[in-house]
Protein backbone atom coordinates (compact mmCIF):
# COMPACT_ATOMS: atom_id res chain seq x y z
CA UNK A 1 0.00 0.00 0.00
CA UNK A 2 2.84 2.39 0.76
CA UNK A 3 4.67 4.07 -2.08
CA UNK A 4 8.22 5.20 -1.15
CA UNK A 5 9.29 8.64 -2.33
CA UNK A 6 12.64 9.81 -3.58
CA UNK A 7 13.45 10.98 -0.05
CA UNK A 8 12.07 8.16 2.11
CA UNK A 9 13.46 9.64 5.32
CA UNK A 10 11.39 12.75 4.83
CA UNK A 11 8.02 11.56 3.65
CA UNK A 12 6.25 8.46 2.50
CA UNK A 13 3.11 8.60 0.38
CA UNK A 14 0.36 6.09 1.04
CA UNK A 15 -2.12 6.56 -1.81
CA UNK A 16 -3.86 9.81 -0.73
CA UNK A 17 -2.19 9.78 2.68
CA UNK A 18 1.32 11.07 3.26
CA UNK A 19 3.61 10.54 6.20
CA UNK A 20 6.14 13.27 6.91
CA UNK A 21 8.98 12.51 9.28
CA UNK A 22 10.10 15.28 11.60
CA UNK A 23 13.80 15.27 12.43
CA UNK A 24 15.38 15.16 15.86
CA UNK A 25 15.10 18.92 16.38
CA UNK A 26 12.16 20.84 14.95
CA UNK A 27 13.44 24.37 14.54
CA UNK A 28 13.25 26.98 11.79
CA UNK A 29 15.14 25.04 9.16
CA UNK A 30 13.67 21.59 9.74
CA UNK A 31 10.25 23.14 10.47
CA UNK A 32 10.28 24.84 7.10
CA UNK A 33 11.20 21.54 5.48
CA UNK A 34 8.24 19.84 7.18
CA UNK A 35 5.97 22.72 6.16
CA UNK A 36 7.16 22.56 2.56
CA UNK A 37 6.65 18.81 2.44
CA UNK A 38 3.15 19.03 3.93
CA UNK A 39 2.05 21.90 1.67
CA UNK A 40 3.36 20.08 -1.40
CA UNK A 41 1.37 16.96 -0.44
CA UNK A 42 -1.77 19.03 0.13
CA UNK A 43 -1.34 20.82 -3.19
CA UNK A 44 -1.05 17.44 -4.90
CA UNK A 45 -4.40 16.41 -3.48
CA UNK A 46 -3.35 14.50 -0.41
CA UNK A 47 -6.23 14.77 2.10
CA UNK A 48 -4.69 12.97 5.07
CA UNK A 49 -1.30 13.70 6.58
CA UNK A 50 0.67 12.13 9.38
CA UNK A 51 3.65 13.89 10.90
CA UNK A 52 5.78 11.27 12.60
CA UNK A 53 7.83 12.61 15.52
CA UNK A 54 9.61 9.32 16.30
CA UNK A 55 13.08 10.95 16.20
CA UNK A 56 12.08 14.29 17.68
CA UNK A 57 13.71 15.25 20.95
CA UNK A 58 13.07 18.97 20.88
CA UNK A 59 10.67 21.43 19.27
CA UNK A 60 11.53 25.11 19.67
CA UNK A 61 9.20 28.10 19.46
CA UNK A 62 9.67 28.59 15.71
CA UNK A 63 9.00 24.88 15.20
CA UNK A 64 5.76 25.17 17.20
CA UNK A 65 4.67 28.19 15.16
CA UNK A 66 5.40 26.43 11.88
CA UNK A 67 3.42 23.38 13.02
CA UNK A 68 0.52 25.68 13.89
CA UNK A 69 0.79 27.05 10.35
CA UNK A 70 0.63 23.54 8.94
CA UNK A 71 -2.45 22.87 11.07
CA UNK A 72 -4.08 26.03 9.64
CA UNK A 73 -3.21 25.04 6.09
CA UNK A 74 -4.61 21.54 6.65
CA UNK A 75 -7.84 22.98 8.03
CA UNK A 76 -8.19 25.31 5.07
CA UNK A 77 -7.61 22.57 2.51
CA UNK A 78 -9.77 20.03 4.32
CA UNK A 79 -6.82 17.76 5.03
CA UNK A 80 -6.95 15.54 8.11
CA UNK A 81 -3.78 15.82 10.16
CA UNK A 82 -2.34 13.43 12.73
CA UNK A 83 0.78 13.58 14.89
CA UNK A 84 2.31 10.23 15.74
CA UNK A 85 5.11 8.93 17.95
CA UNK A 86 5.28 12.13 19.98
CA UNK A 87 7.59 11.83 23.00
CA UNK A 88 6.20 12.54 26.46
CA UNK A 89 8.18 15.77 26.75
CA UNK A 90 7.06 17.10 23.37
CA UNK A 91 3.50 15.94 23.95
CA UNK A 92 3.37 17.91 27.19
CA UNK A 93 4.57 21.03 25.37
CA UNK A 94 1.99 20.52 22.61
CA UNK A 95 -0.72 20.14 25.23
CA UNK A 96 0.28 23.32 27.06
CA UNK A 97 0.34 25.26 23.81
CA UNK A 98 -2.94 23.85 22.56
CA UNK A 99 -1.71 21.91 19.53
CA UNK A 100 -3.16 18.64 20.76
CA UNK A 101 -6.65 20.12 20.53
CA UNK A 102 -6.24 20.63 16.81
CA UNK A 103 -4.80 17.35 15.54
CA UNK A 104 -5.36 13.63 15.87
CA UNK A 105 -2.75 12.06 18.15
CA UNK A 106 -1.57 8.50 17.76
CA UNK A 107 1.06 6.40 19.48
CA UNK A 108 2.34 4.98 16.20
CA UNK A 109 2.33 5.77 12.54
CA UNK A 110 0.15 2.72 11.85
CA UNK A 111 -2.35 3.79 14.46
CA UNK A 112 -2.42 7.29 12.97
CA UNK A 113 -3.00 5.91 9.47
CA UNK A 114 -5.74 3.65 10.75
CA UNK A 115 -7.44 6.55 12.52
CA UNK A 116 -7.28 8.74 9.43
CA UNK A 117 -8.68 5.91 7.30
CA UNK A 118 -11.51 5.49 9.77
CA UNK A 119 -12.29 9.17 9.43
CA UNK A 120 -12.20 8.97 5.66
CA UNK A 121 -14.55 5.97 5.71
CA UNK A 122 -17.06 7.98 7.71
CA UNK A 123 -19.51 9.60 5.32
CA UNK A 124 -19.63 13.39 5.45
CA UNK A 125 -22.08 14.72 7.99
CA UNK A 126 -21.57 11.78 10.40
- Positions touching other proteins (CB under 8 A) are 27-28, 60-66, 68-69, 71-72, 92-93, 96-99, 101-102
Q: CB 118 → other proteins: shortest distance, Å?
A: 24
Residue number with CB closer to other proteins (29 or 114): 29
Q: How far is the CB of 96 from other proteins (least distance, A)?
A: 6
Contacts by 107-111, CB closer than 8 A, 24 or more apart: 108/84, 109/19, 109/50, 109/52, 109/54, 109/84, 109/85, 111/84
Looking at the Cβ atoms of 14 and 68, the one nearer to other proteins is 68
The answer to whether 70 and 35 are in contact (CB under 8 A) is yes
The residue (of 44 and 92) whose beta carbon lies closer to other proteins is: 92
DSSP state letter for 105:
E
Closest by alpha carbon to 71, among 60, 80, 58?
Answer: 80
Pairing of strands 3-4, 25-26: unpaired
User: Considering the complex, what minimum distance in angstroms separates the CB of residue 46 from other proteins?
Assistant: 22
Smallest gap, in angstroms, from Cβ of residue 20 to other proteins? 18
Q: Which is nearer to other proteins, 15 or 58 (CB)?
A: 58
Amino acid sequence: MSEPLAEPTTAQAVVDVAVVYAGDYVNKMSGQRIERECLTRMERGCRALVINFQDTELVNSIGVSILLGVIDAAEQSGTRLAFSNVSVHTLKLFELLGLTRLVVLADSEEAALATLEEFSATPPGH
